[in-house]
Structure 1
Amino acid sequence: MENAFFVVWFGLFGLFIGSLITHLAYRLPLILISRWQLACCPSIVQSLDKPHPFYLSLFSPSGCPHCHQPLTLASLIPVLSWLYQQGRCRDCHRTIGCTYPFTELTVALLFMVLASSNQNLLWLIILLMITCLLITAALIDIAHQLLPDVLTLPLICSGLIAASLEVSPVTLSTSLAGTLFGYGLLWLPAIVFKGIRKIEGLGRGDMKLLAGLGAWLGLDILPIVILVASVSALLFILITQRNKKNKNKRIAFGPFLAFAGWLALLKDPFMIDLSILLQALL
């Protein structure tokens, strides 16, 4: 009974954290892109359409992405407020995308899975933080084809620090090897693809994300992470690009890496079995 209460409490907590993640995933790229434009070409930026100043701070209140009106306390209630308002802003009545409730429910579900996984408290807290980071990175990559350094580099550094403090399940040498191998594992195919097609196939953000996962997971499981991410991405492409209009649409690889990496961090039996099978074949 106590365990069920603990899991439900984590689910409710996850709803509110999911709301914060949508807030961060929406504003962070706007802030970064605005700063990059200003740093590169200050004279040109003056003539560009800039985001509303309301969205150029992570700490200003949440608001409607259309009319910029701040949300009331009732409108901040995860999922229920979106359902009550029928997916529309209470002020301008324009449609609010289902990304918000979907993310909130996804985070709640993942928090409940973690809460029921019988992890020790410190590792549970670490997993919760990594989960939030991976979801934020995935949302930004989907919307902007961008994996910011402010998310990927802390993942790498924290993994190495945790390994050096013997907090993570891998040793420091294994963590270092995983970081280097994770970056190199995508760097070489990216160079080859660019040489053949003359276009970018994988961004450096994907390499840094896999390096961050390598810092936490070590070397052995990374080929399985790549395999699961690649197969998941391929299935997604086959399903979504049957329509000719979508055939040239770029697909963000970050969400698939995040999904596969999260399964590996949770020591999912499927990932472990694949790893054992691959080692046996090699």
Structure 2
Amino acid sequence: MDALMLTLATVLGLVVGSFLNVVIHRVPRAESLVRPGSHCPHCRAPVRPWQNVPVVSWLALRGRCASCREPISIRYPLVELTTALLFAAVTARFGLTPELPAYLYLAAVAVALSMIDFDVHRLPDAIVKPSYVIGALLLTPAVVAGADWNAALRCLIAMAVLFLFYLALVLIHPAGMGFGDVKLAGLLGLYLGWLGWGAVAVGTFAAFLLGGLAGVVLMAAGRAGRKTAMPFGPAMLAGALLALFAAGPIVSWYGGLLLPAA
């Protein structure tokens, strides 16, 4: 992979991560993403351009507002860094291929939705629903370029299968998850379906495994009990990203367990 390409992807991720901080804060509050401009949540002072450089500005200001000196959460640069690392990893995974923009978009959505679900235990329709259309449109060039209509059909089937599977879980046990998880499941099915049925299986199983492990860790740390409501969206998104990068090796490993070499 060309170092310049990875560098550009990282820089793009930092910029997108800065915008995601706005999305994470404003979308749950049904606020405009455009107006007003970036400002301090404490004193409402506008953030000047030099104060809005991803990560660098937070470090230069020592994590405090330039006007009122109130602390600025470390979560802001962490969101930017996480997005940058994901953009670099996705670019390394796909290279300059037609599907790269689609999976960069998925990475950005994963960061935003995970943080929002942690904050308010919701997966906003304002992000999830349009992502179905955006995801399909971004994957269309890959379908056309490769004339891979079977993959396109697999995307649609996987989208329907995961949507219906999660819908059944909600109807059987409504306290376990919400309809936001159902809608997210369909979106992840669309993306995982492009990668293959192995990725669909790994992403789905990994979501429940990671969600369960997170619950056990929180209970062991005394941060949650058996009846504590915990967001499941981050586990679903983490499972999908795991499948994105490691579905092939995981499927091969599991297949080796089922069919050991003679």
In the superposition, the TM-score normalised over structure 1's length comes to 0.78
1:139 aligned residue: 115
- Matched length: 251
CA distance in 1, matches of 2:46, 2:161: 45
CA distance in 1, matches of 2:258, 2:106: 27
- Secondary structure of the residue aligned to 1:246 is coil
Q: CA deviation at 1:271?
A: 4.3
Aligned Cα RMSD in Å?
Answer: 2.7
Show CA shifts across 1:214-242 (max 9, x none). 12222723332121111111222222222
- Secondary structure of the residue aligned to 1:171 is helix
Residues 140 and 274 from structure 1, CA distance in 2 versus in 1: closer, same or farther, beyond 3 angstroms? farther
Q: CA deviation at 1:76?
A: 0.3
CA distance in 2, matches of 1:164, 1:112: 22
- Answer yes or no: is the 8 Å Cα contact 2:39–2:46 preserved in 1: yes
CA distance in 2, matches of 1:276, 1:207: 29
Show CA shifts across 1:171-211 (max 9, x none). 343222211211121122222223xxxxx321111111111
Residues 264 and 92 from structure 1, CA distance in 2 versus in 1: closer, same or farther, beyond 3 angstroms? same
In structure 2, the gaps of 5 or more residues are none
1:35 aligned residue: none
Matched, 1:263 2:242: yes
- Answer yes or no: is the 8 Å Cα contact 1:224–1:275 preserved in 2: no
1:93 aligned residue: 69
CA distance in 2, matches of 1:159, 1:9: 22
In the superposition, the TM-score normalised over structure 2's length comes to 0.84
- Secondary structure of the residue aligned to 1:16 is helix
Give the alignment of 1:1-282 within 5 angstroms: 3-31=2-30, 56-60=31-35, 61-160=37-136, 166-167=143-144, 171-194=151-174, 200-218=175-193, 220=197, 221-247=199-225, 248-266=227-245, 268-273=247-252, 276=255
CA distance in 2, matches of 1:215, 1:233: 21
AA paired with 1:183?
Answer: F
Q: CA deviation at 1:59?
A: 0.5
AA paired with 2:24?
Answer: A
Q: Percent identity?
A: 25
In structure 1, the gaps of 5 or more residues are 32-55, 195-199
CA distance in 1, matches of 2:71, 2:64: 4
Residues 95 and 9 from structure 1, CA distance in 2 versus in 1: closer, same or farther, beyond 3 angstroms? same
CA distance in 2, matches of 1:278, 1:185: 26
Show CA shifts across 1:31-81 (max 9, x none). 1xxxxxxxxxxxxxxxxxxxxxxxx32102111122221111121011121
CA distance in 2, matches of 1:162, 1:118: 14
- Answer yes or no: is the 8 Å Cα contact 2:27–2:126 preserved in 1: no
